[in-house]
Amino acid sequence: MSATPAPGAEWFGHPRQLARLFTTEAMERFGYYGMRALLTLYLAQHFLFSDTTTTGVYGGFTALVYLTPLIGGLMADRFLGAKRSVKFGAILMSMGYAVLCFSATGGAAHPFATIDGQRYEVSIEGSGDAKKQFISDKGEQLRIKGNEDKTVSLLRADGSEARRIAAGGFVPGGDRSPLYVFLLLTGLSLVTVGNGFFKPNISTIVGELYAQGDRRRDAGFTIFYMGINLGSLFSQILCPLLAVGMGSWGGLGWWAGFALAAAGMAVSWALFQFDGGKLDGYGDRPADADSGKDMLIYIGSMLAIPLAYLLFSNLMSYVKPAAGAGLIGYLMTLPIMGKIMFGTFLAAVPGILIWSYFNGDRREFQMMAAALVLITFNTVFWTLFEQAGSSLTLFADRNTDMSVFGLFSITAGQTQFFNAFFIVALAPLFSMMWNRLAQRGIEPSIPVKFAVALMGVGAGFLFLVWGSHFANAEFKVTLWWLAGLYLIHSMAELCISPVGLSMVTKLSIARIVGLMMGTWFLSIATAQYVAGVVAQFASVETVGGEVTNLKVSLETYVGVFQTIGVVAMVIGGVLLLLSPVLRKLMHGVN
């Protein structure tokens, strides 16, 4: 571990190197969250994938983004060092966003519908809430309207019903260019592999700035975490603005949003590559590492890109098993991605614990056990929190009145900026609060903070469920109920995410801290995949990317949000009861 910086070499009371890491991470997150703000809507509206496919691909992508750090952390620990890994990852991610940009330059998918085995072309008129879908049947234009009982009505120009199609008899679809689908999945694959090298290792360098026992560590990670959200705050406003516009301006196109994300990632690489010596002595290659293996690692990483591509392709072709298949039947029919997620997590947690038992002393083993228990509960938190990019974004698009005080309207993708805004506003307050409480000796333990976070994420969903009772005649809630959910979720996030990053660096056995950081992200990876599965329960019928019945849509979302809200509150209560035991295993680590 690097030496503690000399007195005076500080930035707001922290090592001055934190400023460079803060800025680098802010620009990297600018790229990632700008792309993420677009992804769900891009899949649903540009490529016209169904809700099930959209949330499945989104969940699989975000899962892989957090799974690959397990390998990237290991490669840094054993061979490359954190600094080289961050630079390599930044290059791959910037390339990935650029490829996504090219995937959006082609024409959008063309909608069609299959009715009782016969294909009909779908035409769309209007935009926004006034958008309507039609099919042509025997020369007559018939409007498509979904009903509360899941049937679909085809209406004549005078509003009379020409035909009613039984539930399941109307199957929407879209014609897509194989070339642009190839570019889409290639771009996602590049980002996935690059993130594996970038994400765990910049956090590891932050940990290196503080000596063991330095009480500034939690506050330092909270400041670092604010940098993450500062970058995402601006990108989640600007990328959707360029892509789809705002108000009467229709934007430049999806390509422009992805191009801005690529530019942000390029700036992140430049900040790290040309650091002016500010990070000398931090994140270096391990002293006993063989530098001759660097090229093999780089080549192996490039070969992982087609592997990620195949996983995404498999996700797109996945069909859910029929009802009544049971848990075993469900697990056996999971796509390859699902089997990897569950298999890796179930192998990694006990595997690391067994290794710790044989290679650490009793105290180290108990601290590792506490860390792994908290990592498991972390999985639950992120499963629910990460509905933000999938089901909550679709809820914003379909069942939320996006007007801001009647002055202007924002887009569904831009609603994700609420979380980043609240983190930036609240992170300094939380940092000061933890410091004040620590000085008085009454700071909550890490397990208690985790429990509060879990109950908080549940409370956020229940708050939105409450707001659904005040939906207007168009079955839409006001934007401020959604903003309130993000406020509650942001406070919960500040109790677990920066605290969790710090916890891993404090409880881990020193020689595998990179691997443990990767395991932390593995827990989030598993959560991301499960989050996609949860979001699929909120899937609703769409035609040409538009919902056919907003009342059914609202009821579906509210039912799912209420269930997961209650589950989160219960699990948080269980962790609160376990916190005294976990605190004992942590041997005084706060």
Q: What is the rounded average pLDDT for all residues in the chain? A: 84
**Distance from C-alpha of 108 to C-alpha of 101, rounded to nearest angstrom:** 13
Confidence at residue 544, expressed as pLDDT on a 0 to 100 scale: 54
Confidence at residue 427, expressed as pLDDT on a 0 to 100 scale: 79
Give the contacts of 37 (CB within 8 A, at least 6 positions apart): 235, 236, 239, 240, 257, 389, 413, 414, 416, 417
Mean pLDDT of 476-487: 94
Confidence at residue 359, expressed as pLDDT on a 0 to 100 scale: 83
Q: What is the DSSP string of 362-387?
A: HHHHHHHHHHHHHHHHHHHHHHHHGG
Confidence band, pLDDT 50/70/90 cuts, at residue 4: very low
In order of 16, 79, 481, 511, 555, the CA distances from 284 in angstroms are 18, 10, 47, 14, 54
| DSSP SS3 for 404 | strand
- Given a cut of 90, whether residue 468 has pLDDT beyond it is yes
Which domains are assigned to the chain?
Answer: 15-108+176-585 (1.20.1250.20), 110-175 (no CATH)
**Distance from C-alpha of 232 to C-alpha of 36, rounded to nearest angstrom:** 10
Q: What is the DSSP string of 125-140?
A: ES-GGG-EEEEEETTE
Confidence at residue 265, expressed as pLDDT on a 0 to 100 scale: 92
Name the H helices within 495-549: 497-507, 513-536
Beta bridge partners of 121: 112
Structure tokens at 227: 């940098």
Residue located via tokens 């056996």: 332
Confidence band, pLDDT 50/70/90 cuts, at residue 247: low
The answer to whether the CB of 459 falls within 8 A of the CB of 565 is yes
Confidence at residue 577, expressed as pLDDT on a 0 to 100 scale: 95
Mean pLDDT of 309-332: 70
The answer to whether the CB of 82 falls within 8 A of the CB of 283 is yes
Confidence at residue 305, expressed as pLDDT on a 0 to 100 scale: 93
Mean pLDDT of 203-215: 79
Run of H or E including 144: strand 140-146
Structure tokens at 187: 């771009």
What is the percentage of the chain residues whose pLDDT exceeds 90?
Answer: 29
- Phi–psi pair at 46, nearest 5 degrees: -90, -50
Residue located via tokens 């469920």: 465
- Given a cut of 90, whether residue 482 has pLDDT beyond it is yes
Q: What is the DSSP string of 263-307?
A: HHHHHHHHHHHT-TTTTTTSSPPPTT--GGGHHHHHHHHHHHHHH
| DSSP SS3 for 410 | coil
What pLDDT, in 10s, does the model give residues 443-458?
A: 888 899 999 999 999 9
- Given a cut of 60, whether residue 223 has pLDDT beyond it is yes
Closest-CA residue to 413 (of 195, 541, 182, 251)? 251
Structure tokens at 573: 């209560």
Mean pLDDT of 224-232: 80
What pLDDT, in 10s, does the model give residues 323-337?
A: 555 556 666 677 888
What is the percentage of the chain residues whose pLDDT exceeds 70?
Answer: 93
The answer to whether the CB of 165 falls within 8 A of the CB of 115 is yes
Name the H helices within 68-215: 69-75, 82-103, 178-208
**Cα–Cα–Cα angle for 78, 83, 88, rounded to 5 degrees:** 90
- Given a cut of 80, whether residue 542 has pLDDT beyond it is no
**Distance from C-alpha of 383 to C-alpha of 67, rounded to nearest angstrom:** 14
Beta bridge partners of 123: 134
Residue located via tokens 């992804």: 39
Mean pLDDT of 73-96: 88
Mean pLDDT of 112-138: 77
What pLDDT, in 10s, does the model give residues 46-78?
A: 898 888 888 889 888 988 887 888 788 888 888
In order of 218, 520, 585, the CA distances from 501 in angstroms are 9, 8, 18
Residue located via tokens 């002055």: 407
The pTM (predicted TM-score) of the whole model is: 0.82
Residue located via tokens 């592999």: 193
What pLDDT, in 10s, does the model give residues 253-283?
A: 999 999 999 999 999 999 888 887 778 888 7
